[in-house]
Amino acid sequence: MFDMDAKVLTETTGQKNLPRWFARVFSVAGRGVAHGRLDFVMPDGRRFRIQGAGPGPQAEVVVHDPDIFARLIREGDLGFCEAYLDGGWSSPDLMAFMDLIHADNDDLYDGFPGLGLLRKYEAFRHWLRGNSRAQARRNIAAHYDLGNDFYALWLDPSMTYSSALYRGTDDLQEAQRQKYAAMVDALDVAPGAHVLEIGCGWGGFAEYAAGERGLRLTCLTISQAQHDYAVARIARAGLSDRVEIRLQDYRDTTGQFDAIASIEMFEAVGEKYWPTYFDVVHNRLKPGGKACLQVITVQEKRFEIYRQTPDFIQKYIFPGGMLPPPSKMQSLPQAAGLRPLGGLSFGRDYARTLRVWHERFNARWPEIAAMGFDARFRRMWNFYLASCAGAFEYGNCDVTQFRYERPGG
C-alpha cells in the first residue's frame, strides 16, 4: 500500500506502469479529500491511499478497467458514474464512497467537470426532455412505470416513495405515516375539507388523509401504473366516495380547493415550468387556503453549476428533473401571489429513508432480477440510492415541507 503525496506522483518501483491519467486524478482527488480516506485498488492489487486531514468516511474504489481515469478527465463525474454502471470500477461499500464524496469535500465533489463540449452535449440532451405535457408523461413513465410489483418489493407496505419523518420511531411505515400527518397538520383544514393533491403516487397520502383525517381529495397523476394502483387501493379501503384519482396533468386542473398538498412532485416540473406550477397552486386555492409542498432542494451555492451540468440522476433516474435552491421556494410563490409561511426541513430523515430502501432493494434483488432486471440496472439503482443518501446526510440536498397561503378569505 502506497501513501503518496497527492501533488506529486513519483515513479518508484511500486508506482510504475500506472494507467494514463491516474497521476492527474490522484493529484486532484488528493487536494479534494479534506475529511476521511480514499483508497484506489488497482487491477494488479496495488493500493494507493489519500488521507484527509480531518476525520470522515473511509472509502475504497476497486479499479477493474484502467480507462476509468481517462473517462473521469474527459467526461467528468458523469463519465465516472457511467463507468460504474459499465463495471469499470466497484466498491465494497458504495454507501461509504458516496458519503465521502459529500462529506464537506467540496474540491473533490467539484474537481472533475469534464470537457466543455461534452457538458454542452449533456445539457442539450437534458433540454430535449423538458416537461411539456407530452414529454412529462414520457419522463414520468420512464421511472414510475417500471412496475408496481417492482416497487412493492422494497418500499414499505404503504407504498410511499418519498422521505419519511422519523419522530420517536425506527419503523419506516410509521415514519411515513408521521410525514403524512405533518402534511395534513400544515394544511390547517377540518374534516370534510376538499384537498387537491398534485402528484399522488400510489395513493398513500390520499388513503391516510381521507381514511384517518376525514378529508375529501382530488388526486392527480400522469403515471398510468400509479393511477391504476391508486384507484384499486382507494376502492379496497372503501374511500371511493371521498377520493377521486385523476390521470391528469396539473396544468389542466380547474376549480378551487380548500387546500393543496404535493409530495416530491415539484422536482419533476422542470425549471421552465416553475412559474406555471406556482400560478396553478395560487389559482386552484380558495382565498385563505393553504398549500403544503414537500420539496427536495439543492444547496444554494451549488445551484448554478447544477442547473448547467445535468447529473447522473437527471440522465438515468429522473429525466427532465430539476431541484430548486431554497431561495426559489420563496421568490417564485411570492411572484405568483402566495404568502410563504415557513416550513419543516428534515434532510437527514431522507438519508435514513434512503439507507433503508437501499438495504431492502438489495435484500430483494433475487426477486427483482426474476422480473427481468439485469446487473447493470442493479448497479444503477444502488448508485442512485447511495448517492442520494450521501447528499442528504451531509447537506448537499435537503427536503422541506414548505407552507404557503393564498391571501384573502
Place of cell 493529484: 27
Angle, helix 224-236 to helix 133-144, in steps of 10 degrees: 70
- Which is catalytic among the residues 81, 200, 388, 397? 388
3-state secondary structure of 294: strand
200 is catalytic: no
Beta-carbon contacts of 289 under 8 Å, excluding residues fewer than 6 positions away, are 256, 257, 258, 259, 260, 405, 406, 409
What single letter denotes the amino acid at residue 225?
A
Contact 346, 329 (CB under 8 A): no
Nearest to 340 by CA among 302, 292, 372: 292
Grid coordinates of 10: 513519483
Cell numbers given for 238: 372503501
Taking alpha carbons only, the member of 373, 383, 349, 345 closest to residue 166 is: 349
Tell me how far apart the alpha carbons of residues 42 and 170 are, in angstroms, rounded to a whole number. Answer: 40
Cβ contacts of 231 within 8 Å, gap of 6 or more: 203, 245
Q: E strands along 72-115, which residues?
A: 89-90
Residue 194 pairs in a beta bridge with 216
Q: 2 and 23 in contact (C-beta within 8 Å)?
A: no
| Radius of gyration from C-alpha coordinates of the chain | 23
- Report the distance separating Cα 192 and Cα 137, nearest Å: 31
Rounded CA gap, 97 and 90, in Å?
Answer: 10
Q: Establish how many alpha carbons lie within 13 A of residue 145's alpha carbon, considering only the half-sphere containing its beta carbon.
A: 14
Q: Which residues are catalytic?
A: 388
